[in-house]
Chain A
Amino acid sequence: MHNILFYCRLTTEITILWFVIYQIMLFFEGTRGSQVLRGIIMLFLAFFIFQKFNFTVLDWLLQKLFGISVIVLFIIFHPEIRQGLAKLGKRRIFNVNLKEVELDLMLNEIGKASENLSHIKIGALIVIERHDPLVSYLQSGVNIDAYVRSELIQAIFTPNNPLHDGAIILQHNRISSAGCILPLTDKQEINRLFGTRHRAAIGLSEETDAIIIVVSEERQDISLVYKGRLYKDLGQEELKIKIKEIFKIK
C-alpha cells in the first residue's frame, strides 16, 4: 500500500514537472531565448553530473554561478517573461461561433481582395481574430466596424490612403479596425526576402492564435501565417481551404 502511494506520488510529481518544463521549452521554441535556454539546460546537466561524481570545485563554481544568474536571466528573458505574463492574463469571456456560410462569405471577400491587390502590386495585412483577444492591437488603429467586402479592403490598402499602413483586424465577420500596428518577430532565421509586413505577421502569430494573411507587393504573392508558421504562394482557393482547416482545429 505504502509502495503504491509512493509510485502514485512519484508519477504525479514527474508529470507536473514534465508539463511545466515542456511548456517553458515550447514557449521559447523558435525565439532568440531558445539558444539561451539550451545553454542553461547544458549548464544544469553539467551541474548534475558534477554533483553525482563529487567534483567539488566545479560543483562549487556552478553553484555560485547559478546564484548570480537569476538576475541575469530576468534581464535576458525580459521580453519573453512579459509576453508570457500577458498570455496568462488573457481570459476568454465570449466564445463566438461563426457559421460556415458566414465564414465562406468572409473568405470569398478576403480571397478576392487579396488576389486583386497582389495583381496590382499593392501590399496588405489582414488579421482574423480567433480565440485570443486582439484588443491591444485594435486600439493602435482606427475603429471601422464594417462588413467584410473586397472593395473596402482594397480601398483601405490603396497607397496614399491614411489607413493603408498597418493591418486590418477582422472580428466576428466584420472589419473592426484598420491601420493597426503589429509586433515584429524576433526570429533571426526568417528569409531576407521577407519584409516588415511578413515579420509583423509572424510576430503577431507568435503571441496570439490569429490567422494573418499577407499580400506582398514585391513578390506579388499571398501568404498565410498561423502560430509562427508561414504558408507562402497561396492561390485564392488554397487560402480558403487553409483557413477553413485552421478554423476546424480548436
Chain B
Amino acid sequence: MNINKTSLIKRIVHLFTYHPWLKLIALTLAVIVWFYVRGEQPKP
C-alpha cells in the first residue's frame, strides 16, 4: 500500500541525514579492507 513517490531531492537529503556516522565508519572500514586485501594479493 503506497500513495506517493518521494521526490529526488528528499531522497538525496535522506541519504546524508540518515545515519551519517554509520556511513562514515562503513566508508573507513571499506577503505581499510580494500587496502588490506590489496596488500595481501600477490603482485603481478
Q: Which residues of chain A have a CB within 8 Å of any CB of chain B?
A: 10, 13-15, 17-18, 21-22, 25-26, 29, 41, 44-45, 48, 51, 95-98, 100, 103, 128-131, 171-172, 247-250
Q: Decide: A18 and B3 in contact? CB cutoff 8 A.
A: no
Contact in complex: A48, B3 (CB < 8 Å): no
Contacts of A250 in B (CB 8 A): 2, 4-6
Secondary structure dominating the interface of B: helix
Closest 6 CB pairs of A and B: A22-B26, A17-B30, A18-B30, A21-B26, A98-B1, A247-B3
A13-B34, A29-B19, A48-B32 known; A100 vs B3 contact (CB < 8 Å) = yes
Q: Is the CB of B34 within 8 A of A14?
A: yes
Contact of B19 among A26, A100, A103, A171 (CB under 8 A): A26
Task: Specify which chain B residues have a CB less than 8 angstroms from the CB of A98 in the assembled complex.
Answer: 1-3
Judge whether B22 and A25 touch: CB under 8 Å: yes
Q: Assess whether A248 is in contact with B1, with CB atoms less than 8 Å apart.
A: no
Given contacts A10-B34, A250-B5, 14 further A-B contacts (CB under 8 A): A13-B34, A14-B27, A17-B33, A22-B23, A22-B27, A26-B19, A26-B22, A41-B25, A45-B32, A48-B32, A96-B2, A97-B2, A97-B3, A250-B2
Complex CA gap A100/B22 in Å reads: 36
Asked if B1 and A17 make an inter-chain contact with CB atoms under 8 angstroms apart, the answer reads no
**Contacting pair B22 A22 (CB below 8 A):** yes
Cβ-closest chain B residue relative to A96: B1
Q: Which residues of B contact A22 (CB under 8 A)?
A: 22-23, 26-27
Whether B9 is near chain A, meaning CB under 8 Å from some CB there, is: no
Task: Name which of B30, B34, B36 has the most chain A CB atoms within 10 A of its CB.
Answer: B30
Chain B residues lying within 8 Å of A172, measured Cβ to Cβ, are 1
Complex: A48 Cα to B34 Cα, angstroms: 12
Give the contacts of B1-42 with A (CB-CB under 8 A): 1-6, 19, 22-23, 25-27, 29-34, 36
Closest residue to B32 on the A side, CB-wise? A48
Q: How far is the CA of A10 from the CA of B33 in the complex (A)?
A: 12
Which listed residue, A15, A29, A41, A103, touches B3 by the CB 8 Å rule?
A103
How long is the Cα–Cα vector from A221 to B33 in the complex, in angstroms?
48
Q: Does A97 lie within 8 Å of B30, measured CB to CB?
A: no
CB distance from A110 to the nearest CB of B (A): 13
- Contact partner of B30 (CB less than 8 A), chosen from A21, A44, A51, is A21
